[in-house]
Structure 1
Amino acid sequence: MYGDEALKLVREAKRAQAAAGSTLSVYNETVVRNVIKELQILADEQSRVVAVIQHAVDEDPYNETDDVMAAAPAAYRAQFLLHHAGIERNKRCLLAYHAARIDKVRALTWELGGAGLPPDVARRCSPAEARFAEKYAELLTSFKGVHGSIDLTAAPVPPKELYICVRVVKDCGEIFTETGQSLVLKANTQHFVRRTDVERLITQGYLVHVE
């Protein structure tokens, strides 16, 4: 049924907006292509209806207006408007899907300070999204350079907790904290650490915050 594929993209966009951290679903190229194909079918049908309307108006000896749609039979106008509504709906769904994903990519780039997307996140992006992330990271790095030592990617609101409990999802090896101490982060272990020491690792999906 027309619109079903586009609805799948809207639902994915809604989930993307609700997801926290570095969660980003795999780019759904199959459904995107299906929606574009449906758009082409609707556009072809609309063109066919327009041609029929034009012919009917041209053949009407009593027609005295240049407004083709106004002079068209009601049934043809209804077909035209139906196809037009389907095209506009699919276009809005495609735009909403891609806008939600780009918003997530942009937010992740800010959270990571322009360091680039984590490999597991980058693999879920489309080629266009990956290029956007790369160029956006370059812009952010350049923008940060203008403002010297100010960390523009830091949270605007101070955290309520200086120390948090985290669980290691992926091996991180040895890291060094802001105080110079070393910390070995092995998978399936938990640690009570300063938030600022592990924020980037949480964003990248290596650690999870244990409430």
Structure 2
Amino acid sequence: MAYVYNRAEIVRELAWNVGLLHELPHEIQEKFNETEEQYFKDHSKSLKLYMSQMNLDVNVDMVPPKDPYIKVRVLEDLGSGIILSDKTANFARHSMHFLKRTDAEQYISRLTAASISL
């Protein structure tokens, strides 16, 4: 029972860290048995449903930030017309922006998930 409980803890932690926004990388997914894979999907689905009903992203800022804004330096040209919560921005290469943390998190999580799946 301790082994099964430990595996369930790992699956829940992965759902919080990786799976809420994206699918798990294949290297991790192939180590799950069928029951663990179904548990991961059900747990992620429940969290997503809860967040959509409450209009809340519980996966952002697990530790409260000191400042609601973050300084962002753009490494690659992302172009103009990117819509943020209160304005549009031009993310040209090497530009610096002072953004709301919630706006920046969307792009950071996408980039993080892309680098994890490599």
Q: TM-score, normalised by structure 1?
A: 0.36
| Distance change >3 Å, CA 131–CA 184, structure 1 → 2 | farther
| Distance change >3 Å, CA 182–CA 190, structure 1 → 2 | closer
Aligned residue number for residue 192 of structure 1: 97
Computing the radius of gyration from Cα coordinates, the structure with the larger value is 1
Matched, 1:140 2:67: no
3-state SS, counterpart of residue 201 of structure 1: helix
Task: State how far apart, in whole Å, the 1-side matches of 2:62 and 2:87 are.
Answer: 25
Contact (CA 8 Å) 2:74, 2:92: kept in 1 or not? yes
Determine which structure has the larger strand proportion and give its number.
2
Task: State how far apart, in whole Å, the 1-side matches of 2:74 and 2:22 are.
Answer: 19
Matched, 1:108 2:39: no
Contact (CA 8 Å) 1:117, 1:133: kept in 2 or not? no
Determine which structure has the larger helix proportion and give its number.
1
Aligned residue number for residue 201 of structure 1: 107
Contact (CA 8 Å) 2:77, 2:92: kept in 1 or not? yes
Please report how far the alpha carbon of residue 92 of structure 1 lies from its aligned counterpart in structure 2 after TM superposition: 6.7
Contact (CA 8 Å) 1:163, 1:192: kept in 2 or not? no
Task: State how far apart, in whole Å, the 2-side matches of 1:143 and 1:191 are.
Answer: 35
| Distance change >3 Å, CA 99–CA 179, structure 1 → 2 | same
Q: TM-score, normalised by structure 2?
A: 0.54
| Distance change >3 Å, CA 145–CA 163, structure 1 → 2 | closer
Gaps of 5+ in 1: 1-90, 207-211
Contact (CA 8 Å) 1:166, 1:192: kept in 2 or not? yes
- Aligned identity (percent) is 19
Contact (CA 8 Å) 1:165, 1:190: kept in 2 or not? no
How many matched pairs?
106
The runs of 4+ residues in structure 1 deviating greater than 6 Å are 91-95
Q: Which amino acid aligns with 2:88?
A: Q
